[in-house]
Structure 1
């Protein structure tokens, strides 16, 4: 980043020579390599812009004390114009880099979200709803014994009812869990689609 700042200072120094002789168009601003570097360029350009305006204001006042007022003012204006043109090139490059960095970051986030969505869809597809409840087979007949047939029948009915209730609760829980996963999947898909549409709108706006 130090090398980039040095190049910027060279650009500004060339701009300051405008009052001595016409200078060629300012060279292109050196490319940025990070968001922090681009932000540093913008901050430096803002300080140099303020200094150029302040120097012009002082030069303008001094010109009114000279005999060739118009010639002096023309030189001061040309010096300011050249300096501001160089700064404008620096600012444009840094701002373009920041915009592209934001677009790249958004693209990465969208790609990650889409990948996560596909992985979740695959997991849901691999976990279909639980099969219908199948009651266990009846126990093999036992040898006759002297027992209370009515009490035995009542106990058996209660056991079957308890098993059916447990099975129904389990099926309901499985269905609810599946519906939740499906709803979450649809919500994530909508989110990905909204981000895609937002990206297309921004690209269209930048292309104008």
Structure 2
């Protein structure tokens, strides 16, 4: 009964050391929000490492050290995985926003060029002073239809690139989580083996102590002249 109560008490204390592993993930709509989110991720990651270091010190003072450390490591792993997702989302938004800004600038430049071309076409050509002078070649300017087609092609390529990056991002997250799970499984196997060795050692020590106690009792009985009892 006493051992059971001790185990329950230690299990409750270890559970109390667990820290929240999830971070809210609101939608990012501006570059400022993305930058703020990246700053939050850095602070949260530093806090997760500090909390894990503090939890380690607490665990080393407990009886079931390995069990406590495993829970602290799992809490840290979950927090870092969540923060990594937020970091990926914020960086993806910034890259996407940069591409959209560049495309808008190119489209605005195309519209200005088209307006200038239309303005030049509406003006009559200036008369040449010298009839022998050859006219200067007019630089080729793309028509609005051609520029619109190029813009549509760029949009198509950007969407394909975004889809590819999203797939790669999902695969990276899956690979990271798989590696973390494999690492946790390896650590658990190591902890189980340590626990088994510790249990065998304690049993050997208990058996040796019982044998020594029995031998001491027999020696005392013999010294006192009492008849020897059979174990």
TM-score tier (shorter): 0.5 to 0.7
Quote the Cα distance in structure 1 between the aligned partners of 2:103 and 2:15. Answer: 47
Is residue 23–residue 83 contact of structure 2 (8 Å, CA) maintained in 1? no
* 1:168 and 2:164 are equivalent in the alignment: no
Quote the Cα distance in structure 2 between the aligned partners of 1:79 and 1:110. Answer: 47
2:76 corresponding residue in structure 1: 80
Quote the Cα distance in structure 1 between the aligned partners of 2:53 and 2:60. Answer: 11
* 1:114 and 2:110 are equivalent in the alignment: yes
Is residue 29–residue 93 contact of structure 1 (8 Å, CA) maintained in 2? no
TM-score, normalised relative to structure 1:
0.54
* 1:204 and 2:200 are equivalent in the alignment: no
Quote the Cα distance in structure 1 between the aligned partners of 2:103 and 2:39. Answer: 27
Is residue 41–residue 91 contact of structure 1 (8 Å, CA) maintained in 2? yes
Is residue 26–residue 85 contact of structure 1 (8 Å, CA) maintained in 2? no
Tell me the CA shift for residue 22 of structure 1.
8.9
Q: Residue 45 and residue 92 in structure 1: after superposition, are their counterparts in 2 closer, same or farther (change >3 A)?
A: same
2:37 corresponding residue in structure 1: 41
1:140 corresponding residue in structure 2: none
| Secondary structure at 1:167 match in 2 | coil
| Secondary structure at 2:131 match in 1 | helix
Gaps of 5+ in 2: 1-13, 165-231
Quote the Cα distance in structure 1 between the aligned partners of 2:158 and 2:60. Answer: 50
1:54 corresponding residue in structure 2: 50
2:91 corresponding residue in structure 1: 95
Tell me the CA shift for residue 103 of structure 1.
2.7
Tell me the CA shift for residue 27 of structure 1.
7.0
Equivalenced residue count is: 150
Per-residue deviation, residues 101-133 of structure 1 (Å, max 9, x unmatched): 2232122112101211211221232245456x7
Is residue 34–residue 93 contact of structure 2 (8 Å, CA) maintained in 1? yes
Quote the Cα distance in structure 1 between the aligned partners of 2:24 and 2:103. Answer: 28
Is residue 59–residue 76 contact of structure 1 (8 Å, CA) maintained in 2? yes
Q: Which moved more, 1:25-34 or 1:115-124?
A: 25-34
Quote the Cα distance in structure 1 between the aligned partners of 2:54 and 2:20. Answer: 25
Is residue 19–residue 75 contact of structure 2 (8 Å, CA) maintained in 1? no
Tell me the CA shift for residue 49 of structure 1.
0.3
